[in-house]
């Protein structure tokens, strides 16, 4: 026992300082919030929209608009654009309360959305939030990045956020996956089992819009076709930092910088 205690003391403190300190360094390959430069765009060429595998790009007023809810962050659009009108920034703050706020156009204001929950709900959940995680047919990528938040380095519990085994012990659902036909009823029953008031968080492109399986006959194209969604966290999969940022800003525990 003494050796175990001594080894633990030597290991020191592993939990990152974020959000009180700087965010952890992200890989050079990280693709954050897309940026559209309309002044660099070749009017109406639509090459970017043509290569998008999920139809996340539409041409509006001869310029592209990117729906991050559908976006796989594959960067095919950026590679196809000879004018470099689209690029991916290193901004990990992608969460939004409203589905329409996930659409990025040239005229969209810079910076993250305000995602803080309503004041009356915040009084209940602001310091303690219990979530039941539901994998509604996901590939396990979003699930893995969500599970990372329970490790020592991230320590999700320090924010009062915990995953629980039963919806009857939960304040809300965290949903991943495109909601397959086989999971449709299970998701609905899980939502119904939550006590009131309840919240729903959709994590990843699949849970928001169907991801790469969009419009397949065996999927429902996302969670909000089955249950109401209060917070959208896009990505394929979203980085653990993106998920954590969305959750703690949702609880009002961190101001966007």
Give the CATH number, domain containing residue 184. 3.40.50.12280
Q: Do the Cβ atoms of 229 and 200 come closer than 8 Å?
A: yes
Q: What is the sign of the dihedral through the CA atoms of 231, 236, 242 and 247?
A: positive
* Residue 230 included in any domain: yes
Predicted local distance difference test score (pLDDT) of residue 233: 97
pLDDT band at 1 (very low <50, low <70, confident <90, very high): confident
Residue 110 has pLDDT above 70, yes or no: no
Given a cut of 80, whether residue 158 has pLDDT beyond it is yes
Segments forming the whole domain that contains residue 241: 119-250
Q: Is residue 42 part of a domain?
A: no
* Residue whose tokens read 């495109």: 178
Is the predicted pLDDT of residue 103 greater than 90, yes or no? yes
Asked if residue 114 belongs to a domain, the reply is no
Q: What is the pTM of this model?
A: 0.91
Higher pLDDT, 182 or 1: 182
CA distance 145 to 212: 18
> What totals of helices (H) and strands (E) does the chain contain, helices first?
8, 10
Give domain status of residue 29, yes or no: no
Average pLDDT across the chain, whole number: 89
Q: Is residue 45 one of the residues assigned to a domain?
A: no
Residue 152 placed within a domain? yes
Q: pLDDT confidence of 49, banded at 50, 70, 90?
A: confident
Task: Quote the pLDDT of residue 185.
Answer: 96
Count of domains for the chain? 1
Q: Does residue 224 sit within a domain? A: yes
Is 207 among the domain residues? yes
Q: How far is CA 180 from CA 139, 141, 185, 190, in A?
A: 12, 16, 10, 15
pLDDT digits (tens, 9 = 90+) for 201-254: 999 999 999 999 999 999 999 999 999 999 999 999 999 999 999 999 999 887
pLDDT in tens, 188-212: 999 999 999 999 999 999 999 999 9
């Amino acid at each position: 026992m003494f050796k175990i205690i001594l080894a633990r003391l030597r290991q020191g403190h592993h939990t990152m300082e974020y959000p009180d300190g700087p965010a952890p360094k992200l890989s050079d390959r990280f693709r954050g919030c897309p940026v559209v430069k309309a002044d660099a765009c070749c009017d109406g060429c639509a090459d970017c929209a043509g290569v998008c595998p999920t139809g996340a790009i539409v041409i509006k007023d001869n310029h592209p608009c990117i729906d991050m809810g559908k976006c796989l962050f594959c960067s095919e659009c950026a590679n196809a654009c000879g004018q470099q009108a689209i690029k991916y920034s290193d901004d990990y703050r992608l969460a939004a309360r409203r589905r329409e706020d996930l659409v990025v156009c040239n005229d969209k204001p810079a910076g993250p959305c305000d995602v803080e929950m309503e004041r009356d709900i915040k009084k209940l959940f602001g310091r303690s939030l219990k979530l039941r995680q539901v994998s509604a047919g996901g590939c396990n990528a979003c699930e893995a990045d969500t599970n990372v938040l329970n490790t020592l380095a991230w320590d999700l519990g320090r924010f009062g956020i915990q995953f629980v085994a039963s919806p009857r012990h939960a304040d809300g659902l965290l949903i991943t996956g495109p909601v397959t036909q086989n999971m449709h009823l299970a998701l609905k029953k899980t939502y119904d089992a939550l006590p009131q008031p309840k919240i729903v968080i959709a994590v990843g492109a699949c849970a928001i819009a169907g991801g790469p399986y969009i419009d397949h006959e065996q999927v429902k194209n996302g969670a909000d076709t089955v249950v109401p969604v209060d917070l959208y966290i896009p990505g394929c999969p979203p980085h653990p930092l993106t998920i954590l940022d969305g959750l703690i800003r949702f609880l009002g525990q961190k101001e966007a910088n």
